[in-house]
Amino acid sequence: MAMPTISIDENLKTAWPATHVGCLCYSVDVCPKNQDLWDFYEKTFAPLLEQKLASTALPDMPNIAQARAAYKAFGIDPGRHRISSEALYRRVRQGKALYQINSLVDANNLVSLETGFSLGSYDAAHIGQKIVLRLGQPGEGYAGIGKSGMTLENMPVLADDSGPFGSPTSDSTRAMITDGTRKAITVIYSFSGLEALTDCLDLAKRCFNRYACVGEPLVTVI
């Protein structure tokens, strides 16, 4: 499986120089649910996370303040358009159960909750081989997962030759992971520099291998 070519647009990089992405490319056998993941989450991870959220303001959770500041630099209100990791933290803090989607998406969300980074996992069969992280252009939008539509102007978006398909806030239905996905890529969006991103990549590889039946991934960092 060939690794897509991924780049960061110069205008976005100028607006927030600490922007980096890590990309994992792999084969996968998606199943509806991995019970081991949910046993770990419910018995071990969730109690510690809930305790931390009870005593920690959301901007003080790992990597959230940097993402909020980046969104402001892009001209986006981070209170209205939250990155997905902050949205997950808010859900847990409100006592709501996490969505159970499938083994890969659930592992994706577990890594996001542990690191504070937004992760997007995409079906490689539905995206091109040349991908760029850029700011959304006027008039751009897509059908988001669980959303009727998203306006993308000034939002950081992943796009191929057919247009945007993902963002740190919410991904499109075009490339979403399903039980039929066999080859996928996961993008970790960092607005906090490289060091924390490298640690997150290592965690993601371990988590995906353990809970999502993922083959050895190809990895690139920019």
pLDDT digits (tens, 9 = 90+) for 66-96: 999 999 999 999 989 999 999 999 999 999 9
Does residue 104 surpass a pLDDT of 90? yes
Does residue 35 surpass a pLDDT of 80? yes
User: What value does the mean pLDDT take over residues 104-115?
Assistant: 97
CB 44 within 8 A of CB 84: no
Reading the block at residue 138, the tokens are: 């006027």
- Inter-axis angle of helices 46-55 and 84-93, nearest 10: 90
| pLDDT value of residue 2 | 75
Helices marked H in 41-102 — which ranges? 46-55, 64-74, 84-93
Q: For residues 136 and 209, what is the distance between their CA atoms, to the nearest angstrom?
A: 33
| pLDDT value of residue 1 | 65
Reading the block at residue 199, the tokens are: 């640690």
Does residue 207 surpass a pLDDT of 80? yes
Q: Which residues pair with 187 in a beta bridge?
A: 23, 120
For the question of whether the overall pTM of this predicted structure is more than 0.85, the answer is yes
User: What value does the mean pLDDT take over residues 117-142?
Assistant: 96
Percent of the chain's residues with pLDDT above 90: 90
